[in-house]
Amino acid sequence: MELSKVDHAKYPFTVEAARYVKKRDLRIEDLASRDYAGIVKRARERIEEAIRYGEVGWDRDKEREYKVEIVSFPISIIMVLSTESNFLGKRYALAESKRAYNLLRVEKEDEKLVEIASSSFNWDVKTASETTRQAYDFALSFIDYLKNAPGFHDYKWKLVNRFMIDRYVFLMKDELARLIAEEARKHIQKRLEEKIKVKLPPTLTQAVNDIRQLLSTHRELIQAEEAPQMVVEEAYPPCIRALNEALLSNRNISHIGRFTMTSFLLNIGLSVEDVVKLFTSATDFDEKLTRYQIEHIAGKRGSGTKYTPPNCETLRTHGLCPGMDDLCKRVKHPLTYYRRRLRQTKAGRVAVKSG
C-alpha cells in the first residue's frame, strides 16, 4: 500500500518522508525567512518535548499541519546536532521512537506496518493473513528479527521462545510495532552521530542556545529518572527512609506520601507486584484499589505516563522532609540523591555516612 502525507508526518524517518523533503529543495538559509517560522517553531517543540517528556507529541491537529510536521523533523535533527550533546541526541532518538511505537501499535491497517518495515528498512515481513497461522498478526524473517530483538531483555524476545515456521518469526502487532520503533531509533541515532557542517541562520542559533539552556535545567532530573535499576535501601534519601519506616510500623501515610514512596520505588527498579506487597502492611490495605493506583503511577493504566516523585521543594512544602543531610543540600530531587548515594556504595554498604 502507498503511505499518505499524514503517514509521512507520523513516521518522518521513512524513506517516503525523506523524498518529500528532498523534493522541496530546502536550503538552511531559507529557514531565516518568515515563511518557515512555523516549521522552525515545530522543530524546536519536538526537541523540547523530548527533553521534558521523553516522547515527541502527536495529535489530530498535526494531521492538518502535515507539511510542517514532515519538514520539521530534519530541521530538528540539525538543531540537535548543533547542540553538540550526545546525551540529547540519544534522548531525542528515543523520544521519536516512542512516538512511532505508540502510533504504529494502534494503526487500523496492518499493511501500513508492512509497508514501513519493507520500504524503509528492507525487511522481509508479511501479514499473518498471508500464512496459515491466523493466531498471529505478522510473520518476519528471523534475520530481520535478530537485528533488534536481542536489545530487549525480556525473555519473550529470545529467539528460542518464539514461534517459528521455516525462517519466519510470528509476531503480534504490538511486537512488530516495537521492533520497527527500535529500528527507527537506531536510524535516527545514526543521523545524530554525524558532524554538522552548516552555518545556522540567527533564528536557529538562538533556538539552539535556548535548547541547551533547557537541557541544562532538566538534565539532573532526566539522569535521576534513568538511574541504575537496583534497590539499595542504604541509599534511600531521608524522606524515603522515613516513609518506609512509617509504612513498616503501620503508621498512617498521607496521599502524597504514598505517591512519593510508590513512584520512587517503581523508578529504582521495583515491580508493581513488589510495591503491592509492600503496602499489604497498611491498616487500610485494599489490594484491588492499591494495585490499580500503583499500575496508574507505573504508566500501565490511563495516559501511559510513568510518574516520578515530587522534587525536594514540594516534599518540604507537604512536610515530608524529616531533615536534610549533607547530600540533601546538594540535590533537588530524591532520585538524584539515590543515584549519587549509589555511587558511594560498595558491596551494598554506603561508604559515606548519611547525616
The predicted-structure confidence for 130-145, as pLDDT tens digits, reads as follows 666 668 999 999 999 9
Measured CA to CA, the distance from residue 27 to residue 31 in angstroms comes to 7
Q: Which fold has domain 5-222?
A: Transcription Elongation Factor S-II; Chain A (1.20.930)
CB-count burial class (<10 Å; 0-12, 13-18, 19+) for 39: buried
Q: Grid coordinates in use for 109?
A: 491497517
- Dihedral, CA of residue 258, residue 264, residue 266 and residue 267, to nearest 10: 160
Percent of the chain with pLDDT over 70: 91
Query: Is 15 or 153 the better-scoring residue by pLDDT?
Result: 15
Residue whose grid cell is 510542517: 68
Please state, as a whole number, how many other Cβ atoms lie within 10 Å of the Cβ of residue 324: 17
Does residue 355 register a pLDDT over 60?
Answer: no
Note the helical H segments in 237-351.
Answer: 238-248, 255-267, 272-278, 287-297, 312-317, 334-343
Q: 316-328 pLDDT, tens per residue?
A: 999 999 999 989 9
Query: 29 pLDDT band (50/70/90 cuts)?
Result: confident
Does residue 349 register a pLDDT over 60?
Answer: no
Does residue 275 register a pLDDT over 50?
Answer: yes
Q: 67-96 pLDDT, tens per residue?
A: 999 999 999 999 999 999 988 999 999 999
Q: Which of 25-29, 91-95, 152-156, 276-280 tops mean pLDDT?
A: 91-95
Break the chain into its structural domains and give their ranges.
Answer: 5-222, 227-350
In what order do the strands lie in the sheet containing 168-171? Answer: 125-127, 138-141, 168-171, 164-165
CA distances 157 to 141, 217, 278, Å, are: 14, 37, 30
**pTM exceeds 0.95 for this model:** no
Note the helical H segments in the chain.
Answer: 5-10, 15-23, 37-53, 61-64, 66-83, 86-104, 110-121, 142-145, 173-191, 202-225, 238-248, 255-267, 272-278, 287-297, 312-317, 334-343
**pLDDT of 131:** 62
Q: What is the mean pLDDT of residues 163-184?
A: 93
Measured CA to CA, the distance from residue 54 to residue 92 in angstroms comes to 8
Query: Is 313 or 61 the better-scoring residue by pLDDT?
Result: 313
Are 150 and 139 in contact, with CB atoms under 8 Å apart?
A: no
